[in-house]
Amino acid sequence: MTTTPAPTPWITFPKTTPGARLRLFCFPYAGGGASVYRTWSGVLPPEIEIYPVQPPGRETRLREPGFTQVPALIEALTPALEPYLNVPFAFFGHSMGALTSFELTRQLQRQGGPMPVHLFLSGHRAPQLPKEGDPIFHLPEPEFVEELRRLNGTPDQVLQNEELMKLMLPILRADFELCDTYDYTQAEPLPVPITAYGGLQDVEVSREQLSGWREQTSGQFTMRMFPGDHFYLHSARALLMQTLAQDLMQVLRRLPAS
């Protein structure tokens, strides 16, 4: 595979594999970081390079302010990733990461850049559908923490740790503001196949909302459901990895021979 460009803070734990044929960029959910995907390279096929994306405000970039608006995030992210798009690549994003993957692909198309060969969009309603419920990013701390507890994505030991929450709350609020204030703009469907993943018990994103991604592609659309809630990617990790590996092998079969 082509030599990896110079390091950037946007890419953490990259796994460059000799003989790999596809680079999979993985985008985290609200409050999450690149470490969510750190172990994926050990269980996915060796033909796949895993490149976890690290937005500012978390983990290795904890001291940087997080983005609160999707356009500003995409404006900064696009040039940072462009040097890495020199080989066939795909995007996987969960929740906020799905939204990031989608809008990044739209931006690449607008500027005539290289396009992903596939989008794996997980745990997020189709973007043309209105968000249900009220914004939560501006809630007072007790109510905001209770919403985090309801979503089941932040461990109780973290929610109950005052010191950890003091570090986590700013980025969580920034990420939720980014999602809560997202404004979809109508455009032609992407010429990129989409696979939508979701949790069967996810009360935040229904099967119907997930199936709406079909409207965002002029290519093939597939939807797969897993046991679990909004964070099924942790509770059903083994099944997710098995399914994703199979789907990625299908993507590899569509690529031209090296």
205 in a domain, yes or no? yes
95 is catalytic: yes
Query: What is d(CA 68, CA 178) in angstroms, rounded to the nearest whole number?
Result: 4
- With 0-12 / 13-18 / 19 or more C-beta atoms within 10 angstroms meaning exposed / middle / buried, residue 119 is buried
CATH code, 95: 3.40.50.1820
Marked catalytic residue, from 35, 41, 95, 206: 95
Per-residue pLDDT of the chain (258 residues; tens, 9 = 90+): 455 577 899 998 777 777 889 999 999 999 899 999 999 988 999 999 999 999 999 999 999 999 999 999 999 999 999 999 999 999 999 999 999 999 999 999 999 999 999 999 999 999 999 987 777 788 887 788 888 887 776 767 777 787 888 888 889 999 999 999 999 999 999 999 999 999 999 988 999 999 999 999 999 999 999 999 999 999 999 999 999 999 999 999 999 876
16 in a domain, yes or no? no
250 in a domain, yes or no? yes
pTM above 0.85, yes or no: yes
236 in a domain, yes or no? yes
Total domain count for the chain?
1
Query: What is d(CA 156, CA 173) in angstroms, rounded to the nearest whole number?
Result: 18
35 in a domain, yes or no? yes
- Locate 118 and state its tokens: 């596939």
Q: Do residues 124 and 95 touch, judged by C-beta distance below 8 A?
A: yes
145 in a domain, yes or no? no
169 in a domain, yes or no? no
Q: Which domain holds residue 227?
A: 22-128+187-254
6 in a domain, yes or no? no
* DSSP state, residue 140: -
Cα dihedral 4, 10, 13, 19 sign: negative
**Tokens 């990259």 appear where?**
14
Beta carbons within 10 angstroms of residue 197's beta carbon? 25
